[in-house]
Structure 1
Amino acid sequence: MSGTFGGGFGGGSRGFGGFADGLGGIPGADGLREAFDQLRTAFDKRVGPRMGRGDVRAAVLALLLEQPMHGYQIIREIEDRSGGVWKPSAGSVYPTLQLLSDEGMIEASESNGRKTYSLTEVGRAEAEAAADKQAPWESSGLRDSGRVTALPKAGMELAQVAAQVARTGSSEQVVKAVDVLDEARRKLYGILAQD
């Protein structure tokens, strides 16, 4: 097994590259290292739904039918309404907003340095016509994928705090953290063992 996590969890400043190197000589560190490696592998598979541009378009129109919003509000609202399962990137939302603007479906007004988007009459007609359809964030496939993405997300949050303890905690704190993680692992296996 490798002694590092490579770029780990998508790399960047939030990655865990070199984390395992700091575990040398700590009791139980091999198990912790293995757990992080398994968690990294799960995230590298990029589990979860991938929504299409048509879904982003439908979501934007549905939200703007309720009220004018700026781009970040739209992203946050879709994430909230999908239970955190779908968070469209700015790279999909802003081009969709530009396309809708080019089509005359929405218009932008600037306030406090932010563009706020609202429906035009043409956009409102299209949004109202689609209002009886299920919103993209309500699709059954998206809801079902929540159970697939919720566990890795919780594991990622656990991995982040464990890494923090490894980097900044005392030797005693690291030993206690390893005990907590070992107990959590046993409890998870206990859940699987239940009928």
Structure 2
Amino acid sequence: MSGSLFGDGFPGRGRATGDSWPMPHIMEAMEQLRGMFDQKVGGSTRMQRGDVRAAVLALLLERPMHGYQIIAEIGERSGGSWKPSPGSVYPTLQMLTDEGLLKAEESGGRKTYSLTDEGRFVAEADAEKPAPWENSSTRDSGRASGLAKAGIDLAQAAAQVGRTGSAEQVKEAVDVLEEARRKLYSILAQD
């Protein structure tokens, strides 16, 4: 990425430091960072239909919940890397109810789902298996999410220095960013 924060250094180095010369370059670098991470991390991890079923049974083994609680709980337990859509959770809840594994009680305009005796038997039989939100692809995506957040936070901090910092502060920030880039590449160079 020549001419960017990630390539041959910070663009515009050596220019006179009047006004806000680095600002367009900092914003460009920030957008590059955001774009790199949004490609994979911005969306949720696509899981298979059986994963939603297993997740619902595992969660309802702990306590009764309504659909939104199930979606939120899966998102939380996966570190934000998997948040099933209502279009996958609610049909699964209906299917499990039709199979006799769940029962629904309506209260306050919401259906709260709980396991039937047969549903508890099925859920307990699968309890020894890792929960779907614990599978390796979800964990890997969760790690990438942490990296993405840190990268975006760094880019936002750099942009703030570019907007409000003095020429000396901007130069110091550029040095810090270049050092961070070198350290990141050295991580990849390790075996």
TM-score, normalised relative to structure 2: 0.69
Which amino acid in 1 is paired with 2:58?
A
Alpha-carbon distance in structure 1 between the residues aligned to 2:98 and 2:171: 58
Q: Does 1:192 align with 2:188?
A: no
**Equivalent residue in structure 2 for 1:33, among 27, 33, 38:** 27
**Unaligned 5+ residue runs, structure 1?**
1-24
Q: Does 1:110 align with 2:106?
A: yes
Deviation at 1:101, TM superposition (A): 1.9
Query: Is contact 1:65-1:128 (8 Å) kept?
Result: yes
Aligned-partner Cα distance in 2 for 1:54–1:45: 25
Whichever of the two has the greater Rg, that structure is 2
* Cα distance change on mapping 1:34 and 1:160 into 2, 3 Å: closer
Partner of 2:82: 86
Give the superposition deviation at 1:42: 1.6
1:140-192 deviation line (CA, Å, top 9, x unaligned):
332233222221233345667888x69xxxx6379899779744564243343
> Which residue of the other structure, out of 49, 65, 69, is the alignment partner of 1:73?
69
Instruction: Name the counterpart of 1:145.
Output: 141
Q: Is the 8 A contact 2:26 2:155 kept in 1?
A: no
Measured against aligned partners, the alpha-carbon deviations of 1:102-125 in whole angstroms (never above 9, x if no partner) come to: 222212112233221101122112
Q: Does 1:58 align with 2:51?
A: no
CA deviations on 1:73-130 (whole Å, 9 max, x unpaired) are 2122212222222222222222221222222221211223322110112211211121
TM, length-normalised to structure 1: 0.68
Shift of 1:137: 1.3
Distance in 2 (alpha carbons) for counterparts of 1:83 and 1:134: 15
Quick one: structure 1 residues 145 and 114, their matched pair in 2 at CA, closer, same or farther if it must change by over 3 Å? same
Which ranges of structure 2 fall in alignment gaps of 5 or more residues? 1-18
Amino acid at match of 1:172: T
Percent identity of equivalent pairs: 55
Distance 2:155 2:105 in 1: 42
The CA deviation at 1:66 is 1.0
The answer as to whether partners of 1:27 and 1:175 remain within 8 angstroms in 2 is: no
For 1:132 and 1:56, locate their aligned partners in 2 and report how far apart those are by CA, in whole Å. 17
User: How big is the alpha-carbon RMSD for the aligned residues of Structure 1 and Structure 2?
Assistant: 3.3
Which residue type is aligned with residue 34 of structure 1?
E
Aligned amino acid, residue 37 of structure 1? E
- Segment of structure 1 superposing worse, 52-61 or 99-108: 99-108
Which of 128, 151, 156 is 1:155 aligned to? 151
**2-side partners of 1:42 and 1:35: how far apart?**
11
- Offset of residue 56 of structure 1: 0.8
